[in-house]
Amino acid sequence: MEYATGLPQHSKVYEILRQHINEGVYVEGDLLPSENELCALHQVTRPTIRKALDRLANEGFIVRHQGKGSIVKGAPKGVGILAMKGTTSAVGKENLLTRIIVEPEIRSWSEAFSFSLSKVELESGCIYMERLRLVNNKAVFFDITMIPNINLPRFIGRNMENKSLFDVLRKNYRLEVKGGEQRILAITADERLQKFFGVPAGHPVVQLNRKIETNRLGFCLYSQVFCNTDEFVLSGNF
Amino acid sequence: MEYATGLPQHSKVYEILRQHINEGVYVEGDLLPSENELCALHQVTRPTIRKALDRLANEGFIVRHQGKGSIVKGAPKGVGILAMKGTTSAVGKENLLTRIIVEPEIRSWSEAFSFSLSKVELESGCIYMERLRLVNNKAVFFDITMIPNINLPRFIGRNMENKSLFDVLRKNYRLEVKGGEQRILAITADERLQKFFGVPAGHPVVQLNRKIETNRLGFCLYSQVFCNTDEFVLSGNF
DNA sequence: TAATTCAACTTGTAAACACAAGTATCTATG
DNA sequence: CATAGATACTTGTGTTTACAAGTTGAATTA
């Protein structure tokens, strides 16, 4: 995988290291190369490397120890509630699949999952998509995402299969998640969810309505997630 | 108020600015002095100022805009613990009641809601309590709390009615919440929850299993919360 | 042998400099 | 008057240099 060329150096290093941690090049407990070694590796200076490490540390990927080095922690601090955790076994990336139900397309806003929209957002319309997340070929998440159609060139048509939406936004559009609000409730599966999850009528399902703020002022993502928590629970750190 | 002399410069600047924001010297929407102005004010160089601002921005106190300045945001990021939010109306404190179902008592650990316990925790036994939270005399939360029975003198017998457990722990035992993990799932109400919440069989309920870490090393609280999200959803900022 | 010291690492802090890029404002021009 | 452009701000990125402070392990010393 290559990286967008427009990114500043510290972001590039951050992306590379982050991906290496995610891919298992470095595993929990490992010592990252020293800052000076990373300088030589990436042909940048120490402040640049330090900025990348600052961010990794801040997000919980690594812990730094003066005089010792940067230790990989692996599990990043949850950005709200995002991660999935098996009740019986751990979820390996190899078992994770994303199936697109509705390809990204431009729609007018129907509603934004109980969050109120600004005038600009309403006028711009939204990019709408539906995805199903499967673990071991079993549907666990059903995900509706709505993004304001503001300055996202070539987003429609971009292949989102098995890609993290956040990764795409961060790497291609420099959009970073800054925070947000989420509302959680329990519902019973409607016909559609029954079909997706293969569960009977009356089956309890977790519903998350999320408004996700970004570094672009006033630009928020809205997502609604339904989760079948029979085998996998939603897990988050705070 | 003065500031510890041992702190590095960027931390001192951070503390000063943070306090000024909290005290209302700068209010939401205000433009902070420019980086160069802050340099002159505090007699440090721009990288030092920028490090302080980095941290303030990261914690949500300010938002920075290239070419414009740093705008005070005021509201710091939430701690990740979910609050309650009415689907119809806001929840005033006057309408909030806590009813003790099981007074704090010492038990042996039966289990810790799917979290594994350390040897020390197991040997110490736990303080167990059950509480019901009511809004407008309607049960919304049912809360089971388990606390390791380690160095908490006079905790048993303490009146917990309408008191925040966290407040009691912080004020009387200097225990501060540092972080934790929560697992969320949807279940159907069992007989007990049906009675508490006044809901029929098969009614969906949100279940949260939480492990809450404190500033005392290795000392964690465990809590299990059941929530009837018919009228009130769980809401959290991140 | 056991403890201490020292040297060679590591990350942390801080300065001074340069230029890029975004924003707002004033000014000259049509 | 309205618009385009220059300019003077702002924050963003990146380098270079220097030293402080914590950790580790090997060499030295008791």
Last residue of a domain, one of A72, A107, A127: A72
Cβ contacts, strand C, under 7 angstroms: A 32, 34-37, 46-47, 50, 53, 64-70; B 8-11, 43-48, 51, 65-68
- Rounded to whole angstroms, the Cα distance separating A25 from A227 reads 30
* Average pLDDT, integer, range B213-218: 74
- Rounded to whole angstroms, the Cα distance separating B209 from B141 reads 13
Q: What is the pLDDT of residue B40?
A: 95
| Predicted confidence band of residue A74 (pLDDT cuts 50, 70, 90) | confident
Q: Are residues B102 and B148 in the same domain?
A: yes
Which nucleotide's C1' sits nearest to the alpha carbon of A34? C10
- Please say if the pLDDT value at position B113 is more than 80: no
Question: Is A41 part of any domain?
Answer: yes
Cβ of A67 near strand D (distance < 7 A): yes
Which nucleotide's C1' sits nearest to the alpha carbon of A48? D14
Question: Is B4 part of any domain?
Answer: no
Q: Are residues A104 and A215 in the same domain?
A: yes
A85:B183 CB<8 A: yes
Which nucleotide's C1' sits nearest to the alpha carbon of B67? D10
Question: Is A151 part of any domain?
Answer: yes
> Domain of B65: which CATH number?
1.10.10.10
Lowest mean pLDDT among A30-34, A127-131, A179-183, B104-108: A179-183
Question: Is B207 part of any domain?
Answer: yes
Q: What is the sign of the dihedral through the CA atoms of B52, B54, B55 and B56?
A: positive
Last residue of a domain, one of A22, A46, A72: A72
* Average pLDDT, integer, range B183-197: 95
| Model confidence pLDDT, tens digit, residues A10-54 | 999 999 999 999 888 999 999 999 999 999 999 999 999 999 999
Question: Is A3 part of any domain?
Answer: no
| Model confidence pLDDT, tens digit, residues B136-165 | 889 999 999 999 998 888 888 777 776 778
**CB neighbour list of residue A233: distance below 8 Å, 6 or more residues apart:** A84, A85, A87, B183, B184, B185, B209
- Please say if the pLDDT value at position B111 is more than 90: no
Last residue of a domain, one of B42, B72, B102: B72
B63:A202 CB<8 A: no
Domain that holds residue A27: 9-72
Structure tokens at B175: 């225990």
CA of residue B154 to C1' of nucleotide D24, angstroms:
45
- Please say if the pLDDT value at position A152 is more than 80: yes
Question: Is A4 part of any domain?
Answer: no
* Average pLDDT, integer, range B23-49: 94
Q: Are residues A163 and A50 in the same domain?
A: no
pTM of the model: 0.79
Q: Are residues B125 and B46 in the same domain?
A: no
Q: Are residues B39 and B112 in the same domain?
A: no
- Please say if the pLDDT value at position A165 is more than 70: yes
Interface of A with B (CB under 8 A): 47, 54, 58, 78-81, 85, 87, 178-188, 202, 204-206, 209, 217, 227, 229, 233-238
CA of residue A35 to C1' of nucleotide C15, angstroms:
20
Structural domain count, chain B = 2
Q: Are residues B103 and B209 in the same domain?
A: yes
Q: What is the pLDDT of residue A114?
A: 83
**CB of A52 within 8 A of CB of A61?**
no
B186:A181 CB<8 A: no
**CB neighbour list of residue A165: distance below 8 Å, 6 or more residues apart:** A145, A221
Question: Is A13 part of any domain?
Answer: yes
| Predicted confidence band of residue B37 (pLDDT cuts 50, 70, 90) | very high
Number of H helices, E strands in chain B: 6, 10
Q: What is the pLDDT of residue B94?
A: 55
Cβ neighbours of A178 in B, within 8 Å: 60
Complex ipTM: 0.76
- Of residues A207 and B74, more confidently modeled: A207
Nearest Cβ partner for A184 among B63, B180, B184: B184
> Domain of A208: which CATH number?
3.40.1410.10
**CB of A46 within 8 A of CB of A35?**
yes
Q: Are residues A163 and A191 in the same domain?
A: yes
CA of residue A57 to C1' of nucleotide C12, angstroms:
14
Q: Are residues A89 and A207 in the same domain?
A: yes
Q: What is the pLDDT of residue B74?
A: 72
Q: Are residues B92 and B206 in the same domain?
A: yes
Helices (H), A125-227: 165-173, 191-197
Question: Is A1 part of any domain?
Answer: no
Closest residue by Cα to the C1' atom of nucleotide D16? A45
Q: Are residues A91 and A40 in the same domain?
A: no
Using the 8-state DSSP alphabet, how is residue B235 labeled? Answer: E
Cβ of B62 near strand D (distance < 7 A): no
- Of residues A8 and A119, more confidently modeled: A8
- Rounded to whole angstroms, the Cα distance separating B56 from B15 reads 9
Q: Are residues B118 and B221 in the same domain?
A: yes
Nearest Cβ partner for B183 among A47, A180, A234: A234
Residue pairs spanning A and B at CB distance below 8 A:
102
Structure tokens at B237: 């900022």
Interface of B with A (CB under 8 A): 47, 54, 58, 60, 63, 65, 77, 79-82, 85, 114, 179-188, 202, 204-206, 209, 227, 229, 233-238
- Please say if the pLDDT value at position B86 is more than 90: no
A186:B202 CB<8 A: no
Q: Are residues A124 and A219 in the same domain?
A: yes
A186:B236 CB<8 A: no
B204:A188 CB<8 A: yes
